[in-house]
Structure 1
Amino acid sequence: MAHDAPSPDNARTAWSALEPVHVPVYFAHEAQARYASIGLENPAMHYFASRSAPMGAVGPGAVAAAFYNFNPQAVRAVIPHAWSLAAPETVLAARNDVADRMLRRVLGEEAVDSDPVKEAAEIARTAALAAAELPYGRPLFAGHAGLEWPDEPHMVLWHAATLLREFRGDGHIAALVDAGVSPMDALVSHAATGSIKLSFLRKSRGWSEEDMDAGVRGAVERGLVTTDEADTPSLTDTGRTMRSHLEERTDSLSVEPYAAIGGRGCERLAELMRPFLEALKAEGLRPGTRNKR
């Protein structure tokens, strides 16, 4: 089947359709009890261990580097201790179980084996397999790409979403490094877009108020943001240009795997995913519908 060449916008469309399928594995209510059953004690441990487990029992330095804008001290608080409680393969089995249970609950037993899920899974898998041929310089993605594929359609869809999400994420970090954007500048400028609160980013990434205050001051000094009386950051023209460049560069670094499905395949994937995303949103499991992840 011949495919039309996908554009960077197509890559963003496909990612936007798939991202919400992966993300709930870290905060869906199935997660707490399942991770606790293998000894992982708190949400930070769930997140750092389950997301980094495909790379093996790596140390905190490797995890902090791969995750980029998280406080390395927050990582060291749980890694490598998590590996003494549960081996990476045990963590991954728990994560798959969380994803399976969450999707069955939210989408319903009939939907998980439906023709739309099967078609979406096949399209996403095709793109993800193409991505697996391009692992260079993408360590977190490469770890995930080395995992075995599940059999059930809804889990194939989840795994493909995970692979394409991490492929894009590693590319985004490459764009940040290439542009000379520090982890703290990335967080502050993200909050300054108005799409997410700085307080959420600070807490979720494990930074103290003092750390974040210093980060805001640094971004102001570099001309990326200004602040109001409440110290809420807003982008300057320089900051907007930087953010626009980063998004465009991330899109361009993410587009290659989608050549396997073409622009129309990306659009079809988004069409198929629409009702499932609405179901996730109704459950408060779609990014942007919760205050915490």
Structure 2
Amino acid sequence: MTDVQLARQSWRRLEPVHGMIYFVPEATERYAALGLDSRAGYFASRSAAFGAASAELVIATFYNFHPALVRRAIPAAWQVTTPEKLLAARLEAAGAALRRAGIHEIDTLDETTELAARAAERACEHPQGRPLFAAHAALPWPSEPLLRLWHAQTLLREFRGDGHVAALLTEGVGPLDALVLHAATGHVPTVFLKLSRDWPEEEWAAAEERLRGRGLLGGDGLTEEGAALRQRIEDRTDELALPAYAALSDDELARLAELARAFGRAVVDNGLLAVSG
């Protein structure tokens, strides 16, 4: 049986290799060249794997953004550019940013890419119920090892993300509830979640009151019951991600977790996850 903690560790350590695409100027500049501001660029580039996605599809699959925020970007983005151009721009931006961080010079790139790609390819055997992942799984694999690593982690991230949405729905945690509970952990600044997801203050306050009524929030954050709920969701998300990592033996998974550390650290140390003003 695949080790859950090793699988989670592998994902967390390698996740910056994908996640940086939402923060780096290389992406913003390329989306701007196609006529999109940063927010429209985010929604359109991440959903471009669907084709010209509707706002409703993006709202459903991205899950926790205020619907009005999505509707300001989609479908207007498709009147300015095409999904094909955005996919190409996103991949180009990923390569440029990762090269800026020196990822291509890490001597274990080929080995790390091979292990991550095997996990991602195994995930592709399980697309059912994972729409955002399935759309990305249909994209062609890049040939360059650096970009193959980024694509592999993109697939693993969306595979896990779709499972996370399923876990939230199973526990009756809606989009805004999920954000408020996340903020209550103190792991991410509340102001960042509010600004990036664009939920109005009155709706955020109503969600807090609703969660207090469920016994999940207290005066200083999560109650014991709320913390247990959060842990249950994370544990279930970890379990739902396991089919991908079953492609690797325990020794290979441990090796991927070990190798991933250098790649994640390079992304962080070079400021690729810094939120620009």
**TM-score normalised over the length of structure 1:** 0.91
CA-CA distance at 1:263 after TM superposition: 2.4
The 5 Å alignment of 1:254-269 reads 254-269=241-256
Alpha-carbon distance in structure 2 between the residues aligned to 1:188 and 1:94: 33
CA-CA distance at 1:264 after TM superposition: 2.1
Please list every run of 5 or more consecutive structure 2 residues that lacks an aligned counterpart in the other structure. none
CA-CA distance at 1:262 after TM superposition: 2.3
Find 2:122's aligned residue among 130, 134, 145. 130
Listed one character per residue, the Cα deviations across residues 124-168 of structure 1 (whole Å, up to 9, x for unaligned) are 000000000000000000000000000010110000000000000
Alpha-carbon distance in structure 1 between the residues aligned to 2:157 and 2:94: 15
Could you tell me which residue of structure 2 aligns to residue 10 of structure 1?
6
Asked if residue 26 in structure 1 is aligned to residue 18 in structure 2, the reply is no
Specify the SS of the correspondent of 2:218: strand
Specify the SS of the correspondent of 1:77: helix
User: For structure 1, which segment, 166-175 or 214-223, has the greater mean C-alpha deviation from structure 2 after superposition?
Assistant: 214-223
Could you tell me which residue of structure 2 aligns to residue 231 of structure 1?
none
- Assess if the C-alpha contact under 8 Å between 1:26 and 1:46 holds in 2: no
| Distance verdict in 2 for CA 1:108–1:6, change over 3 Å | closer
Specify the SS of the correspondent of 1:244: helix
Asked if residue 182 in structure 1 is aligned to residue 174 in structure 2, the reply is yes
Specify the SS of the correspondent of 2:95: helix
Find 1:52's aligned residue among 44, 47, 55. 47
4+ aligned runs moved over 3 Å, structure 1: 108-111, 290-293
Alpha-carbon distance in structure 2 between the residues aligned to 1:257 and 1:128: 6
**TM-score normalised over the length of structure 2:** 0.96
Q: Which amino acid aligns with 2:188?
A: I
Find 1:270's aligned residue among 251, 257, 269. 257
- Assess if the C-alpha contact under 8 Å between 2:14 and 2:261 holds in 1: no
Could you tell me which residue of structure 2 aligns to residue 198 of structure 1?
190
Specify the SS of the correspondent of 1:255: helix
How many equivalent pairs are there?
277
Please list every run of 5 or more consecutive structure 1 residues that lacks an aligned counterpart in the other structure. 229-233
CA-CA distance at 1:285 after TM superposition: 2.4
RMSD (Å), alpha carbons: 1.5
CA-CA distance at 1:291 after TM superposition: 5.1
Q: Which amino acid aligns with 1:73?
A: A
- Assess if the C-alpha contact under 8 Å between 1:39 and 1:86 holds in 2: yes
Alpha-carbon distance in structure 2 between the residues aligned to 1:21 and 1:53: 20
Could you tell me which residue of structure 2 aligns to residue 88 of structure 1?
83
Q: Which amino acid aligns with 1:265?
A: E
Listed one character per residue, the Cα deviations across residues 198-230 of structure 1 (whole Å, up to 9, x for unaligned) are 1111111121222212221221122111235xx
- Assess if the C-alpha contact under 8 Å between 2:15 and 2:264 holds in 1: no
Percent of aligned pairs with the same amino acid: 49
Asked if residue 104 in structure 1 is aligned to residue 91 in structure 2, the reply is no
Specify the SS of the correspondent of 1:86: coil
CA-CA distance at 1:25 after TM superposition: 0.9
Alpha-carbon distance in structure 1 between the residues aligned to 2:125 and 2:61: 20
Could you tell me which residue of structure 2 aligns to residue 139 of structure 1?
131
